[in-house]
Amino acid sequence: MLVKDVMTKKVITTSPDETISQAIAKMRQNKLHQLPVIDDGKLAGIVTINKIIIHESDPSTAKVANIMIRSPTIKPDYSLEEAAELLVNADMRAVPVVDREMIGMISENDILNNVKLSASIDDVMKGCTYVNDNDNAGKVKQLFVRKNLSRVPVMKNGKAIGIVGTMELACLLEGKQKYGGRTSGMKDRGYKEKMNLNEISVMTIMRQPVVMQKTDGMAKALSLLKSNEEVLVENGSLGIITPKDVLKLLHAEKKQAYYQIAGLDDIDDFDVAKIQQACDETIKKLAKMAQLQSMNAKIKTIKQGGGKAQYEIHAQLPTNIGTFVVSRVTNRNVVTAVQEAMKNLEREIIKKYEKIKKADRATRAYMRGK
């Protein structure tokens, strides 16, 4: 099954000139955590709830242009496993599907609803960070920022009584709801006075948790995830399963050794996703010409005194028609360096492939003439 078979074609979008509050309203109304940003009919970027939460400006006046980021994209003929890989590596819940222009969005749920997975609860469940019923929204925001989280359970007397996620915090920032603490005048003031999240109890913003027992099994967890952002699992201690946890397992099952890249530790998640996408595209193209073994690539960062770092790429790909090596492709942009290295690798293999095909045609012509 391909991306184009399951993607969402009717896409809710925003524009650079819309306010952050307007973007939050669209997300809340449509239960979305990201919106593609369209400028003059073209994809200009994406705005995410996580980015909104850490942004300090007044959302009623600040523009989407101030917080939108570059968006990873995927092609419609990619497999769902490849889409899962991109979402995991880019740490996104959904990405635009692009075929010269944006034609849809592919989300975690689009994938979950259309794949089969043989796994146990233990394969996907992880421990979770939580807050207590007497904690405030300010603490939740700190946890989100410091630990790169998207939701935390609310606990009382050892039991999960609620969940606070990025959507709940974003709705606070939208400035259109009235909560507890010393915020009784918020309705009249709007966002003119900066909201103090430390004065808002988690009890006033949390939503109902979805809780299951570990013995209920993986099938129930997957069924619950189709209509919920997460599932809490009780088994003595509290665990959590999110769509991303399932996608990580799907990605791991898909391929173990198409390629290995060393030197990614100091590169940001967005660039890592673009690098892996470039490698995926190359492997996919070359697999039609030759039997490939695992490609090994290494990214070396060359730091120059006071100047911008350069990146040096080395790659080696063994195949049934020979082993091909690309060495010392250097560029100041790491993604561009990898893309150039992959193009060089493609050229070398295509050159050898065409040479072999030409020789085969000559041999067949000779044999026919005998």
Assess whether 152 and 212 both reside in one domain: yes
Q: Read off the pLDDT of each residue in 69-83 and give the average, rounded to a whole number.
A: 90
Residue 215 confidence (pLDDT) above 70: yes
One domain, residues 126 and 238? yes
Q: What is the CATH number of the domain that holds 263?
A: 3.30.160.100
Q: What is the mean pLDDT of the segment spanning 169-192? A: 54
Residues 126 and 242 in one domain: yes
Burial (Cβ within 10 Å: 0-12, 13-18, ≥19) of residue 304: exposed
Give the residue from 56, 84, 112 where a domain finishes.
112
Whether residue 355 is predicted with pLDDT greater than 80 in this model: the reply is yes
| 174 and 140 assigned to the same domain | yes
Sign of the alpha-carbon torsion through 336, 337, 342, 346: positive
Enclosing domain of residue 45: 3-112
Residue 226 shares a structural domain with residue 339: no
Average pLDDT rounded to a whole number, residues 38-64: 91
**39 and 128 belong to one structural domain:** no
CA-nearest of 126, 103, 119 to 43 is 103
Question: Within this chain, do residues 310 and 214 fall inside the same structural domain, yes or no?
Answer: no
Q: What does the pLDDT read at residue 305?
A: 67
**Same domain membership, residue 131 and residue 102:** no
Out of 95, 112, 129, a domain closes at 112
More confident residue, 285 or 239: 239
Same domain for 80 and 183: no
Claim to verify: residue 224 and residue 148 sit in the same structural domain: yes
> Are both 100 and 133 inside the same structural domain?
no
- pLDDT exceeds cutoff 60 at 278: yes
3-class SS letters over the chain: CEHHHHCECCCCCECCCCEHHHHHHHHHHHCCCEEEEEECCEEEEEEEHHHHHHCCCCCCCCEHHHCCECCCCECCCCEHHHHHHHHHHHCCCEEEEEECEEEEEEEHHHHHCCCCCCCCHHHHCEECCCEECCCEHHHHHHHHHHHCCCEEEEEECCEEEEEEEHHHHHHHHHCCCCCCCCCCCHHHHCCCCCCCHHHCEHHHCCECCCEEEHHHCHHHHHHHHCCCCCEEEEECEEEEECHHHHHHHHHHHHCCCCEEEECCCCCCHHHHHHHHHHHHHHHHHHCCCCCECCEEEEEEEECCCCCCCEEEEEEEEEECCEEEEEEEEEECCHHHHHHHHHHHHHHHHHHHHHHHHHHHHHHHHHHHHC
Whether pLDDT at 5 is above 60 = yes
> According to the model, what pLDDT value does residue 336 have?
92
pLDDT, tens digit, 9 for 90 and up, residues 131-179: 999 999 999 999 999 988 999 999 999 999 999 999 999 988 876 444 4
How much is the pLDDT for 1?
A: 83
Cα R_g (the chain), whole angstroms: 24
CATH number at residue 17: 3.10.580.10
pLDDT tops 70 at residue 62: yes
Can you give the pLDDT at residue 231? 97
Which residue among 81, 112, 143 closes a domain? Answer: 112
One domain for residues 125 and 230:
yes
Q: How many domains does the chain have?
A: 3
Per the CB < 8 A criterion, the answer to whether 93 and 108 are in contact is: yes
Span 302-328, pLDDT tens digits: 876 667 788 899 999 998 899 999 987
pLDDT digits (tens, 9 = 90+) for 117-131: 778 898 899 999 999
Check if the beta carbon of residue 299 is closer than 8 Å to that of residue 334: yes
